[in-house]
C-alpha cells in the first residue's frame, strides 16, 4: 500500500511497527494498525522479522537495528518481552514507543486491541502522556577488562546454571564492600523491572520516577539477606566467588557465561527509553488492574 503524501505538520510522520514473533492471530491486528496509520497520512515501516513472519504486504521492511534511524515513532503489538527487545535498540535514537498489549500482564503495553483505533487516533493528534524510563548499562569483566556489554530496561541477573548449585558472590557499591551472598542469584532491577522477576522474588515495587535500583537476592541461603534500594547514580560490582555454572542475563534476552573471579559491573545508562501512554494514564491504576489489588479472594477464585 502506498503511503499518503506527508505533511510537514503531521505528528510522527514515519511510524515503525513491531509485532510479537510467531504469535497466532497477529496478522489481522497488525494489518488493521498499518491501515489505520496509512489512512492518517503516516508512512508505515514494518520491522523486517515481523514482516517476514506476518503476511502483511505492501509496506516497507527495515531490520530492527536500523529502525530507530528511519522512523519517528515505533508501535509494538505484543507483550512486554517484545517491548524490552526493541526498547534497547531504540534508546540511543530517542524514538518513542507505544505498546499495544497482545501478551499476558502487559506492564509496558497499555493499549488493548479493542481500543486500538480510537486511542491511537487521539495519540497521533498529540493526546498522550510521555514518560522516560531508565536503563542499566552492564559490563561483563574479565581480568579488569570488559568482554561483553549490554543494556537492560528491566534487570540484570546473575544466577546459578543447570547444575543446581548455589553461587557465591561479593557485592560492592561505589567501591565499598556490602556483603557476600550465597543464593540462587541476584537481581539488579530498574523501577521498570521492579514489577517483573524482582517482584516474584519478594522485591519492592519502585515507582518509575524514583531514581533508584533494587538489589534483590533470589532464594538466599541466609534469611537476613534482604532486598535493598540504592541510588541509580551508584556503581554496582558483583564478583563471582564460587559458581561452576553461573550466568549473566540482561532482560532475560542477552545471555553470557560467567566464571569464578569474573565481575559484573552495573551502572545507570546514558540512554533512556521514551514511552507514550494514552492521555490520563495512571501508574497506580495500572498496578491495581494488573495485580488485582481491589479484588477479594472470592472474586479471584471465581475467575
- pLDDT of 223 reads 87
- pLDDT of 53 reads 86
pLDDT of 253 above 80: yes
- pLDDT of 4 reads 42
Please report, for residues 10, 27, 271, the alpha-carbon distance to residue 7 in angstroms, rounded to integers and kept in the order given. 5, 28, 30
- pLDDT of 299 reads 64
- pLDDT of 168 reads 96
Domains and CATH numbers, the chain: 14-126 (3.40.50.10330), 136-270 (2.60.200.30)
- pLDDT of 162 reads 77
- pLDDT of 297 reads 64
Please name the residue ranges forming H helices in 54-158.
64-70, 80-90, 116-124
Q: Which of 80, 110, 155, 251 is catalytic?
A: 80
- pLDDT of 260 reads 94
- pLDDT of 65 reads 95
Residue 280: band (very low, low, confident or very high) from pLDDT cuts 50, 70, 90? very high
Tell me whether residue 155 is one of the annotated catalytic residues. no
Q: Please tell me the distance from the alpha carbon of residue 186 to that of residue 170, in angstroms, as a whole number.
A: 11
**Selection from 176, 173, 210, 171 nearest residue 190 by Cα:** 210
Average pLDDT over residues 188-217: 97
Q: What is the mean pLDDT of the chain?
A: 91
**Selection from 265, 255, 285 nearest residue 213 by Cα:** 265
- pLDDT of 169 reads 96
pLDDT in tens, 1-37: 434 444 446 899 999 999 987 777 788 899 999 999 9
Kindly report which listed range (194-198, 243-247, 250-254) carries the lowest average pLDDT score. 243-247
Chain centroid, CA 190 distance in Å: 10
Report pTM. Answer: 0.91
Residue 59 parent element (H or E) = none
- pLDDT of 301 reads 65
Kindly report which listed range (53-62, 130-139, 205-214) carries the lowest average pLDDT score. 53-62
Residue 28 parent element (H or E) = helix 27-39
Amino acid at each position: 500500500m502506498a503511503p499518503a503524501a506527508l505533511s510537514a505538520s503531521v505528528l510522527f510522520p514515519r511510524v515503525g511497527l513491531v509485532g510479537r514473533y510467531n504469535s497466532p492471530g497477529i496478522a489481522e491486528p497488525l494489518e488493521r494498525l498499518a491501515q489505520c496509520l496509512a489512512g492518517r497520512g503516516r508512512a508505515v515501516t514494518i520491522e523486517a522479522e515481523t514482516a517476514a513472519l506476518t503476511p502483511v504486504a505492501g509496506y516497507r521492511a527495515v531490520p530492527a537495528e536500523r529502525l530507530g534511524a528511519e522512523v519517528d515513532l515505533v508501535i509494538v503489538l505484543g507483550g512486554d518481552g517484545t517491548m524490552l527487545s526493541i526498547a534497547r535498540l531504540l534508546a540511543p535514537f530517542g524514538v518513542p514507543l507505544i505498546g499495544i498489549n497482545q501478551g499476558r500482564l502487559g506492564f509496558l503495553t497499555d493499549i488493548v486491541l479493542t481500543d486500538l483505533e480510537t486511542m491511537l487516533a487521539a495519540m497521533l493528534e498529540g493526546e498522550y502522556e510521555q514518560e522516560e524510563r531508565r536503563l542499566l548499562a552492564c559490563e561483563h569483566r574479565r581480568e579488569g577488562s570488559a568482554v561483553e556489554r549490554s543494556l537492560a530496561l528491566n534487570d540484570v541477573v546473575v544466577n546459578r546454571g543447570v547444575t543446581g548449585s548455589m553461587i557465591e558472590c561479593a557485592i560492592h557499591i561505589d567501591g565499598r564492600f556490602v556483603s557476600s551472598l550465597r543464593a540462587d542469584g541476584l537481581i539488579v532491577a530498574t523501577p521498570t523491572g521492579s514489577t517483573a522477576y524482582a517482584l516474584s522474588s519478594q522485591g519492592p515495587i519502585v515507582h518509575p520516577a524514583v531514581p533508584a535500583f533494587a538489589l534483590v537476592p533470589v532464594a538466599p541461603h541466609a534469611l537476613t539477606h534482604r532486598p535493598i534500594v540504592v541510588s541509580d547514580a551508584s556503581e554496582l560490582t558483583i564478583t563471582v566467588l564460587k559458581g561452576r555454572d553461573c550466568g549473566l542475563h540482561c532482560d532475560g534476552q542477552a545471555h553470557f557465561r560467567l566464571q569464578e573471579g569474573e565481575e559484573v559491573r552495573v551502572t545507570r545508562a546514558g540512554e533512556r527509553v521514551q514511552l507514550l501512554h494514552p492521555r490520563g494514564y495512571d501508574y497506580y491504576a495500572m498496578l491495581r488492574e494488573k495485580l488485582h489489588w481491589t479484588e477479594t479472594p472470592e472474586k479471584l477464585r471465581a475467575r
